[in-house]
Amino acid sequence: MSHEDATHGPAPMGRVDAEPMHRAVDALAAALHEYVGTAVGVRAEFGAAEADEDPRVLALESRVGHLNAALFDVLHGALGMHPDLTSSVWEPEDGAEPDAVDEPTPEDTEAFYLGFVVSAREGGDASLDGVIDLLDAAGESVATALTDGGYDIAEWAASRGEAPGFGFYEEDDE
């Protein structure tokens, strides 16, 4: 889709058929309900770590991810918007003060990357979909170690496909 069509233009849009968007939401909601039912059943059979890697759970996580992408595409195609519908945001508990962090300035901040090229072993039951969860857990551990070591972490991310881009830090193309 071109970003130069009327959908992406500055003018308000006229009548838009919302039905395809509602169908995409309904499909995603059905998959999420199926995930909950499956996860509860799998967890009744296995411990948490095993349940995380259960093929039924991983298949449904993949399906939810694909349906979330389909929802993005239908919203983007119909409205020209770029919805951020997959972010997880936790609010401070009632009465808790948010952590005050002095934001480092770009002059004394630098991005670091640790990359892996991963494939699942032939004949094994490992799925590439589980890799991001492992990297996310490792990233949390590294961020804690860096903080404990006296460093401020402006942001961190685990990503699949390419190094994450950080808003505060622009790399040179040299």
Give the predicted TM-score (pTM) of the model: 0.54
**Within a 10 A sphere around the Cβ of 67, how many other Cβ atoms?**
19
Domain layout of the chain by residue ranges: 6-79, 91-174
pLDDT at 102: 55
* Binned average pLDDT, 10 residues per bin, the chain of 174 residues: 68 89 97 96 92 92 92 90 81 69 61 80 74 82 87 80 61 46
